[in-house]
Chains A and B, each alone.
Chain A
Amino acid sequence: DTAVSQTPKYLVTQMGNDKSIKCEQNLGHDTMYWYKQDSKKFLKIMFSYNNKELIINETVPNRFSPKSPDKAHLNLHINSLELGDSAVYFCASSQRLLTATDTQYFGPGTRLTVL
């Protein structure tokens, strides 16, 4: 069984649309994350989240919002998509409450293309 899964794997959409990427982890971890891998290949943290605290990277536009229906899921909603949102988005999880030294387990990524 895949530890951290994301759907869809590929997402192609028009500018201005609203879309969601789903993430699920079956590791029983407390904390989940969303990363964006930009065109220069840097992996940049967007959000760190558990059921008590959300840490938002200040550079993330408020068009992006994480939504967690339960501890095992952290979905990423994006409103009014822009061309610059095209990237690969990775979900990840770790055992403890937002402790950066804990090993993070990544999903396979979702390649978003905005036309």
Chain B
Amino acid sequence: DQQVKQNSPSLSVQEGRISILNCDYTNSMFDYFLWYKKYPAEGPTFLISISSIKDKNEDGRFTVFLNKSAKHLSLHIVPSQPGDSAVYFCAATDSGSARQLTFGSGTQLTVLP
């Protein structure tokens, strides 16, 4: 039973446009969410996170939105650049008790020049 789901395995976007990557979760105890980015033959690298006390967190071109009632979060990248082409993983945890992350299966983003 996958508690974190990324239902789109791939997404293609034109350079300069907005990329929106989606993530859904089922565990209502999750209160901290992260996005990791992974290039081929490398390990995931941390991108941005959000606590459930917020509904938005922004870092440069990257913004994460959290909709707790819908158990949904999204990562917006604007403007998208070819170097953003990578696999993006959503992860979640219950910071109060669980001490491990639960990851989604990732979305391959391709930014076309």
Spell out A's residues near B (CB within 8 Å): 4, 33, 35, 40-45, 48, 55, 57, 90, 92, 98-101, 103-109
CA distance A107 to B43 in the complex (A): 5
Q: What is the 8 Å Cβ interface bit string for chain B, positions 42-60, against chain A (1 contact, 0 not)? A: 1111100100000000000
Residues of A contacting B70 in the complex (Cβ-Cβ under 8 angstroms): none
Taking a contact as CB atoms under 8 Å apart, the answer to whether A4 and B2 are in contact is no
Contact for B100 among A100, A106, A108, CB less than 8 A: A100
Residue among A41, A90, A99, A100 making CB contact with B105, cutoff 8 Å: A41
Considering the chains assembled together, what is the distance between the CA atoms of A108 and B45 in angstroms?
Answer: 10
B89 A100 Cβ-Cβ under 8 A: no
Hey, which chain B residues are within 8 Å of A92, CB to CB? 43
List the A side residues contacting B101 at CB < 8 Å: 45, 100, 104
What is the 8 Å Cβ interface bit string for chain B, positions 75-89, against chain A (1 contact, 0 not)?
Answer: 000000000000101
Q: Are B44 and A106 in contact (CB under 8 A)?
A: yes
Q: A48 — which chain B residues lie within 8 A by C-beta? A: 99-100
A–B Cβ pairs within 8 angstroms, 9 of them? A40-B105, A41-B106, A43-B103, A55-B100, A92-B43, A103-B49, A104-B46, A107-B43, A108-B42
Chain B residue, CB-CB nearest to A42: B105
B29, chain A: closest CB distance, angstroms: 12
Look across to chain A and name the residue whose beta carbon is closest to the beta carbon of B100: A45
